[in-house]
Amino acid sequence: MTTLLANIGRVFLDFLASTGRVTLFLYQALSQGIRPPYYAYQTLRQVWEIGYLSLPVVGLTALFTGMVLALQSYTGFSRFNAENVIANVVVLSMTRELGPVLAGLMVSGRIGAAMAAEIGTMRVTEQIDALTTLSTNPQKYLIAPRLFAGVTMLPLLVLVADSIGVFGGYLVSVYRLGFNPAVYLKQTFDFMEVQDVTSGLIKAAFFGFIIALMGCYHGFNSRGGAQGVGKATTYAVVSSSILILITNYLLTSLLFEQG
Amino acid sequence: MTPKFSLKNLHKSFGHKHVLQGVDLEVFPGESMVIIGGSGTGKSVLLKCLLGLISADSGSLKMDGQEIRKESMAQNEERLQDIGVLFQGSALFDSLTVWENVAFRLIYAQHMSRKDAKKIALQKLAAVGLSEGVANLSPAEISGGMQRRVALARAIATQPHVLFFDEPTAGLDPIFSSVINDLIKGCVKELGATALTITHDMKSARAVGDRIAMLYEGKIIWCGSAGEIDTCDNPYVQQFIHGYATGPIHLETDLQHVA
């Protein structure tokens, strides 16, 4: 019993210590990032990496999710003759939930891992020490541009994912299930509210922040050569994915209370 | 004369491992000091303490008579502007071209235009024997010896008055090692800089050093002019410079386990 309590206590203390380290890391990155000079080229490069280069994977995920959603909804709703709400289900599910969460998870796998691997390799090959000796603050040069790009690009990606997902649902509903195209589109736009989209975009900004923070934090603190970089990459993807799911519930709960 | 660097009773530990156990050393302006010692004796840790990349636990660490052990991040950044560093693995930035690496501090810390910075970078590349043809290549496209030359060009790009060399010839063949040694000697002389080199390559130590100090078990156990090292009566130094397998120097305990 004592051992069990000791283990629980150790895990809790480790959790608190990790939280403290991440908070300190974030504070240093933000306090350095808001002061000039600003690294425009680095920021644009991250915007390109996160925003543009993630489009195919996010687009494909959204397309097939929208298509599956239409099929599955039809299967369920046809049992009580409510097929006409499929357009509503697709648009609501994509904008409020599936768009931001799936885009977040896909970008976490693609970008979070790449950030941790790149920064981790820079750490173990002394490139981060070299930055410091070249009078350049590594947190300002490496971390701040990634945080900025994460927060700004994820909402844009989610906006694209929402559109493609709804389009996927439209394709299946019209060409596979025989819905009238005009009626399907009318139902989609009549039912959709601005808040459905904005709540998804708010979530996306948080998810982008989490992905960039976890990727940078684990990469920046990686140790011990290739194995250390591998571990950092795994930790970055796992921790950001879990945090995305937890944050998603908390934000949904918060936004739900506000209507 | 005020020493450029003055280290007194410097200690640094990592957990239970006491790496530096009271280092005393003085390096005078314009002097080229070489610190020799086996792998894992704390040479790199000592260098990182001098650069402010690691904080020493206790003791005194002065540069130009000013205590630097507890300096702020901003003070360290300012101090590093007059220091050039050649890292063991070159530590070139993979995402930048060769000339951008050389011009890094000029562009990002001194805010020079890219055009002017490139001119200087090409001059420095020429000074280390590299043609314009390599300027637009990425570091991954050139050999290890060329990378070391690029790193040297980066270290001297802003004409610093202090140069640190971390194992400058590690991993290079004898001919490339001689080239790097000659370049280091030439650069130090031309800049009139104070140089601190850490190495376990005795040929390199004799070639670039005015004075040589030996670090063993976290302390400087011998210090003298480069010409005296072969005739000194210190058994540790004699074992090290001749590479004898037996003698007073203890091998690492993990090696003894293997045996």
**Cβ–Cβ gap B91/A126 under 8 Å:** yes
In a domain? residue A242: yes
What predicted TM-score, i.e. pTM, was given to this entire model?
0.88
In a domain? residue A155: yes
* pLDDT digit string (tens) for chain B, length 259 residues: 789 999 999 999 998 899 999 999 999 999 999 999 988 888 999 999 999 999 999 999 999 999 998 888 888 888 999 999 999 889 999 999 999 999 999 999 888 999 999 999 999 999 888 999 999 999 999 998 899 999 999 999 999 999 999 998 888 888 888 888 988 888 888 888 999 999 988 999 999 999 999 999 899 999 999 989 988 889 999 999 888 888 888 765 444 444 3
In a domain? residue A76: yes
Residues in chain B, total: 259
B126 interfaces chain A, CB cutoff of 8 Å: no
In a domain? residue A178: yes
Q: Could you list the residue range(s) of the whole structural domain that residue A160 is in?
A: 39-257
Q: Which of A39, A125, A137 sits opposite B91 (nearest CB)?
A: A125
All residues of chain B having their beta carbon less than 8 Å from the beta carbon of residue A122 are 93
In a domain? residue A83: yes
CA-wise closest residue to A196 among A64, A65, A94: A94
**Cβ–Cβ gap A126/B88 under 8 Å:** yes
Interacting residues of B217 by C-beta distance below 8 A, sequence separation 6+: B21, B41
> What digits encode the pLDDT tens for the residues B139-196?
999 998 899 999 999 999 999 999 999 998 888 888 888 888 988 888 888 888 999 9
In a domain? residue A134: yes
> What digits encode the pLDDT tens for the residues B18-30?
999 999 999 999 9
CA-wise closest residue to A207 among A161, A163, A257: A161
The residue in chain A having the minimum alpha-carbon distance to the alpha carbon of residue B81 is A135
**Cβ–Cβ gap B53/A134 under 8 Å:** no
B14 interfaces chain A, CB cutoff of 8 Å: no
In a domain? residue A9: no
**How far is residue A216 from each of residues A220, B95, B100, B115, measured CA to CA in Å?**
6, 17, 23, 32
The answer to whether the beta carbons of residues A223 and B14 sit under 8 Å apart is no
Token pair belonging to A171: 């394709």
How many folded domains does chain A comprise? 1
Using beta carbons and an 8 Å cutoff, which residues of A are at the interface with B? 37, 39, 45, 121-122, 125-127, 129-130, 132-137, 141
Task: Characterize the bridge pairing of strands B194-199 and B32-36.
Answer: parallel
All residues of chain A having their beta carbon less than 8 Å from the beta carbon of residue B91 are 125-127, 129-130
**Cβ–Cβ gap A126/B89 under 8 Å:** yes
In a domain? residue A30: no
Question: Smallest CA–CA separation between A131 and chain B, in Å?
Answer: 9
